[in-house]
Structure 1
Amino acid sequence: MKVQHTRVNFEDLTVGGDTPLHRLDSRVKIIFVVVLLFGIAALLHPEIPIVIFTLSTLTSLVIGISPGTLLKRLIVPFSIAIVVLVVVAFTYGGSDEIWYFRGFSVYNESLSFALLLFTRLMASISVLNLFIVVTPVTDAMDALRWFRVPNVVVDLAAMMLRYIQLLSKENVRMTQAKESRCGFSDRLGYVKRMKNLGETGGALILRAFNRSERVYMAMLSRGYSVNSRIVRCKPLAIENALLCVGSIVMVLSLVYIDRVLI
């Protein structure tokens, strides 16, 4: 029995660089991404989402992410998008039937709506992937504090990202230790291998609880509270504020073009 050793490392999601997108204020990027996602959801035609997907993908390649890495990041969400495309195409009703297959009808309206949903998902996923590539997790957390997101939410998110990574590394070490003792040998029965796997998972959960208690006590001993000001965000510069306004105007213009001119 082979157990896959997969370690989660959120630092690997970010591609370092000195491009304008890397230097751009994280608050501007968050505002632009959120507004753009709402704008994509408001589009009624697939042309603009396809353009957004193409531009986001090309930008990701230009700033240094390899095609193989980009494909690995997009293949899972795109697989889900394809499932949505197929399901909606066969279940969404209509009046203009264009294909019939074993009791399932595909209508022109259902196919158009499925294609629209698929392109929306493609565009949204590519935009979020580009945002993750050029924005470190710490900068994103600091920006959320500036947006007055409750401290307990930001702290919890930051700790989850940190300790998921640590627990994944610990899980790899525990699994390798169990394998070195033939805990997952093919000579063992299936029930015994599942028992060993359950013991490893249970030990990992217990270690996670113990670690959380120790970390929380250490934080309290250093004066931490819900209202602690761990990071003090600098004021938003005038040029960044103008970029925020410009990004909102641009997204509204795309929605206007989609609904009126196309």
Structure 2
Amino acid sequence: MSGLGSINELEKITMQNSPLHRLDGRIKLVVLLAIIVYAVYTTDILILALMEIYLLVLIFLSKLSFKDSFIKILLILPFGGAIALFQPFIHAGTVIYTLPLGIHITAQGLAFGLLLISRLVVSLTCIVLLSSLSPMQEVVDSFKKLGMPRDLAMIFSLFIRYLFMFYDELQRIRHAQASRNFDIFNKKTAYMWRLKQVAYTIAMMFLRAFEKGETVYFSMLSRGYSEESDIYTANKKLGINDFTFVSTTVALILFLELMKYMAFV
């Protein structure tokens, strides 16, 4: 199974050994969120292009696959990219081209759409990079260390653990169906019959998830779990690499702002 198709394979990517993988989870989380905030704040496409180059350098230093990273970005891009694609047609401004049915393309709309898509690409690259550098549990622990409420952190932690269990159950069902030569994309079988099998699969997943969840919950209670229970998070001191990463990113943002200021002077 491809690394993009398995949640377990995606989690294995976060266990690689690279300078960025070894950084403290709080540093990775704060820095990449700061880049997203800065990408939303700036209105200069050149600055966004330079930020994207910086993120590509981080992907290279992380020893991640550029191909897999680009595929992940392209898979998520349509969810927000559609909004940017409509901007040239709905944004008021100077008309530069007229399509049939009286649809106008404006220069301001084209520029705004390009700005939106640039912001989106930088933000998605940050998200893909964070998901490739930090295991899900590390992200939750980092949020908790940064002040996330205990109850919310507990919910996120349990969600992650149940997510992998839910995926394992789905894989067992799919393997059982494959051993019986069931293929949802096989056009030789009736469409309604295939649809019915998918409905059975969904119903079976709900039943198995409920049963597994109940079993795990009773197991947790037998081991002392209660409303006062908390998540254990190991204390880790920040090292020189953490401060170097933060300093480099902050210095880059300040340099880009200074460059923009000098361009306006």
* TM-score clears 0.5: yes
Aligned to 1:3: none
Residues 187/158 of structure 1: CA separation in 2 closer, same or farther (3 Å cut):
same
Q: What CA distance in whole angstroms lies between the structure 1 residues aligned with 2:244 and 2:175?
A: 53
Q: Is the 8 A contact 1:14 1:132 kept in 2?
A: yes
Residue 221 (str. 1) matches residue 219 (str. 2): no
Q: Is the 8 A contact 1:39 1:255 kept in 2?
A: no
* Structure 2 letter corresponding to 1:200: T
Residues 37/159 of structure 1: CA separation in 2 closer, same or farther (3 Å cut):
same
Q: CA deviation at 1:42?
A: 0.7
* Structure 1 letter corresponding to 2:103: F
Whose RCO is larger (CA < 8 A, sep 6+)?
1
Q: Deviations over 1:144-169 (max 9, x none)?
A: 11122122222222222232232223
Q: How does 1:192-203 map to 2 (within 5 A)?
A: 192-203=193-204
Residues 142/111 of structure 1: CA separation in 2 closer, same or farther (3 Å cut):
same
Q: CA deviation at 1:81?
A: 4.9
**Which SS does the other structure have where 2:137 is aligned?**
helix
Q: Deviations over 1:119-156 (max 9, x none)?
A: 10111111222222222222222111112212222222
Q: What CA distance in whole angstroms lies between the structure 2 residues aligned with 1:170 and 1:56?
A: 36
Q: What CA distance in whole angstroms lies between the structure 2 residues aligned with 1:221 and 1:56?
A: 46
Aligned to 1:11: 11
Q: What CA distance in whole angstroms lies between the structure 2 residues aligned with 1:232 and 1:197?
A: 40
Aligned to 1:173: 172
**Which SS does the other structure have where 2:29 is aligned?**
helix
Q: CA deviation at 1:116?
A: 0.7
Aligned to 1:159: 158
* Structure 1 letter corresponding to 2:36: L
Q: Deviations over 1:152-210 (max 9, x none)?
A: 22222222223223222322221332343355576653323222221121011111011
Aligned to 2:44: 45
Residues 24/188 of structure 1: CA separation in 2 closer, same or farther (3 Å cut):
closer
Q: How does 1:53-92 map to 2 (within 5 A)?
A: 53-92=52-91
Q: Deviations over 1:223-247 (max 9, x none)?
A: 2234323324426548657976885
Q: What CA distance in whole angstroms lies between the structure 1 residues aligned with 2:41 and 2:262?
A: 13
- Percent identity, aligned pairs only, is 22
Q: How does 1:116-131 map to 2 (within 5 A)?
A: 116-131=115-130
* Structure 2 letter corresponding to 1:197: V
Q: What CA distance in whole angstroms lies between the structure 2 residues aligned with 1:226 and 1:49?
A: 45
Residues 45/133 of structure 1: CA separation in 2 closer, same or farther (3 Å cut):
same
Q: Which moved more, 1:252-261 or 1:213-222?
A: 252-261
Aligned to 2:97: 99
Q: Is the 8 A contact 1:81 1:122 kept in 2?
A: no
